[in-house]
Chain A
Amino acid sequence: MDAEERIQAASKFLLQSPPGEINDVLNGDEAARVPGADSEEEDDRFWDPRSRTSFRFDHIALEASEPEPIEPEEEAEPFRIALEIAALTYLSAHFHGGVTSVFSTQGNPHRFTIQVVANKYNPSNFWSGRWRSEYIVNLQERKLEGKILLNVHYYEQGNVQLSTTHAVSIELPPTISSSNASASASKILAVIESEESKYQASLNEAYQDMGDKTFKGLRRALPMTRAKLDWDRVLGYKIGAELTANKGAFGSS
């Protein structure tokens, strides 16, 4: 494996790391002698629309630096702010901690991105979890397209992971328009709230289904006889079968 392939393999490991455990995975990578990933990239800049600031982000140290003020997209900003207010209300109603951001799209004042991330890390009880959802609002096409991704890692004397994907495409009602920003934004977040609650409830059905059909179908809790095996008889059966076979052989001679 050359250096390039090593970096690629290590990047794959990092992208697969469970919530809050990226540093542990990174340590494993370093032990496997992967060259440092801190290359001289110039454009590691991000922006926060709420504080109207752009900054440089160091992914290894997880630190922001070099803040600079940025001007928002003038035409899109009122609707973006309305979505942001509605998203923050939604976040505090349903998430225990978590972050939401709303971004406008450069060159398209009718398109917005809403993101929600909620993490829980509990290393002393060996688990971590992450809820991520992202929605693209397109006022012109009257479409809301979203995805919800869930990861849970439980690692006490083992490694058990829940991983889910959910993609949804919803037609927005005609009452939604940028001229009616506040009410439209609330309506959009109400649609998201309903979709996410419905999805969360459907997970219960998935758990039920996997427990009733898959888990039981793979291995029974007890044999049909509802009793554990009689191991002496398990060996005896075989010996018995052999005796019968031998007897048959003797009988025919």
Chain B
Amino acid sequence: MADLVDSMLDLMRRLPPTHVEANVAALVGMCPDYADDLLGSVDQPLKVMVDRATGREYLACDYNRDGESYRSPWSNEYDPPLDDGTIPSPKIRKLEITANEAFDTYREMYYEGGVSSVFLWDLEDGGFAGVVLLKKSLNPSSPSEPSGSWDSIHVFETAERGRQAHYKLTSTIMLSMMHHPAKGKKGDEKVEATRDGDVTLSGSMTRQTEQDHSLQEQTSHITNIGRMIEDMEIKMRNLLQEVYFGKTRDVVFDLRSLDDLEKARRQRELQKELVGFIKR
């Protein structure tokens, strides 16, 4: 039934990103047998949870979920508590702790706020995989303040080959921004008018890369993946800027022209006539 899951994924690619949670829930309701396939393939906005042991915020997604519980990267505990929840091996957990500290620094440098979490898991062939999550939200206290959210989901897999390691990185960034123009009348108008409205730009983009890097020690994995994710986020931020602020705006101005098209048409006709006149 790969076709059915593909159809559902195609549907999610077309429906408004702002309603992704409700739409995924509706699809899961329609086809409960494919819930796991769908939840594992559709990126949804990250949930912010609070670690009960440390009081620190962390991020929840499908990768740190076991049943109905989520594991905190700070205390390694599940919430709600699980006795037999999946946890990484001691070696990988040690790396996970270091990775969380490193990406916490990264988060502060680039996001100046927000929340980060890194989750690692052992792979059957002896390697490991992981996900780096970053989230920042701007929650306005008044409608005129900026409102928006940024969710980064970087999933990676690594395989060691002697002093080298091969990395495969899949990065998804979900970005949404809301603009609420100042309400009401404008002073310079001859007619009495009231206005209200908003502008929403939202969506997600996904990119992949595969790279080899040298490996001196276990923590080299973190510096390698750190650099790969940093480069990817810089590249994707440029791409998002281009698509959100460039492409969507171009389409609007392709639909409607600010200049009078009739006038331009007449001008062209006139020019043609003149050229013909001169040639004669």
Cα A168 to Cα B183 with chains together (Å): 11
**Assuming A13-B15, A171-B193, A223-B109, is B255 touching A120 (CB within 8 A)?**
yes
B262 contacts the other chain (Cβ, under 8 Å)?
Answer: yes
Which residues, 166 to 190 on B, are CB-close (under 8 Å) to A? 175, 177, 179, 181
List chain A residues, Cβ under 8 A from B148: 210, 214-215, 217-218
Interface residues of B (CB under 8 A from A): 3-4, 7-8, 10-19, 23, 26-27, 29-31, 98, 101-102, 105-106, 109-112, 136, 138, 146-150, 175, 177, 179, 181, 191-207, 219, 222-223, 226-227, 230, 233-234, 237, 241, 243-245, 247-249, 251-258, 260-263
Cα A152 to Cα B249 with chains together (Å): 9
Among the listed B8, B191, B203, which residue makes an inter-chain contact with A160, where contact means beta carbons less than 8 Å apart? B203
**Assuming A96-B254, A223-B109, is B247 touching A127 (CB within 8 A)?**
yes
List chain A residues, Cβ under 8 A from B146: 209-210, 213-214, 217
Among the listed A17, A33, A228, which residue makes an inter-chain contact with B230, where contact means beta carbons less than 8 Å apart? A228
Partner-contacting stretch, out of A19-27, A40-48, A75-83, A103-111: A19-27
Cα A206 to Cα B201 with chains together (Å): 10
Which residues, 128 to 168 on A, are CB-close (under 8 Å) to B? 128-131, 148, 150, 152-155, 157-168
Beta-carbon contact of B192 and A170 below 8 Å: yes
Interface residues of A (CB under 8 A from B): 1, 5-6, 9, 12-13, 16-18, 21, 24-25, 27-29, 31-34, 89, 92-96, 98, 118-120, 127-131, 148, 150, 152-155, 157-173, 191, 195-197, 200-207, 209-211, 213-215, 217-225, 228-229, 231-232, 234-235, 237-238
- List 8 A-B pairs, Cβ < 8 Å: A24-B11, A28-B10, A92-B261, A155-B13, A173-B191, A202-B181, A223-B109, A238-B101
Q: How far is the CB of A242 from chain B (nearest CB, A)?
A: 10
Beta-carbon contact of B201 and A162 below 8 Å: yes
Cα A228 to Cα B263 with chains together (Å): 51
**Assuming A13-B23, A158-B205, A163-B18, is B257 touching A203 (CB within 8 A)?**
no
List chain A residues, Cβ under 8 A from B234: 221-222, 228
Beta-carbon contact of B205 and A157 below 8 Å: yes
- Can you add 18 more A-B contacts, CB < 8 Å, to A168-B194, A231-B226? A16-B23, A17-B14, A21-B14, A24-B14, A28-B7, A32-B11, A95-B255, A158-B204, A159-B204, A162-B200, A166-B196, A203-B249, A206-B199, A209-B179, A218-B175, A220-B112, A234-B102, A235-B223
List chain B residues, Cβ under 8 A from A195: 193
Beta-carbon contact of B179 and A206 below 8 Å: yes
Cα A13 to Cα B15 with chains together (Å): 7
Q: How far is the CB of A241 from chain B (nearest CB, A)?
A: 9
List chain B residues, Cβ under 8 A from A24: 10-11, 14
Interface centre among A5, A127, A207, A219 (most CB of B within 10 A): A219
Q: How far is the CB of B269 from chain A (nearest CB, A)?
A: 14
List chain A residues, Cβ under 8 A from B263: 93
Q: How far is the CB of A208 from chain B (nearest CB, A)?
A: 9
Cα A195 to Cα B12 with chains together (Å): 35
List chain B residues, Cβ under 8 A from A32: 4, 7-8, 11, 27, 30-31
Q: How far is the CB of B38 from chain A (nearest CB, A)?
A: 11
Beta-carbon contact of A95 and B257 below 8 Å: yes
Cα A204 to Cα B30 with chains together (Å): 41
Beta-carbon contact of B110 and A158 below 8 Å: no
Q: How far is the CB of A164 from chain B (nearest CB, A)?
A: 5
Cα A16 to Cα B11 with chains together (Å): 11
Cα A106 to Cα B193 with chains together (Å): 27
Beta-carbon contact of A164 and B206 below 8 Å: no
List chain B residues, Cβ under 8 A from A34: 30
Beta-carbon contact of B248 and A201 below 8 Å: no
List chain B residues, Cβ under 8 A from A228: 230, 234
List chain A residues, Cβ under 8 A from B18: 161, 163
Q: How far is the CB of A99 from chain B (nearest CB, A)?
A: 12
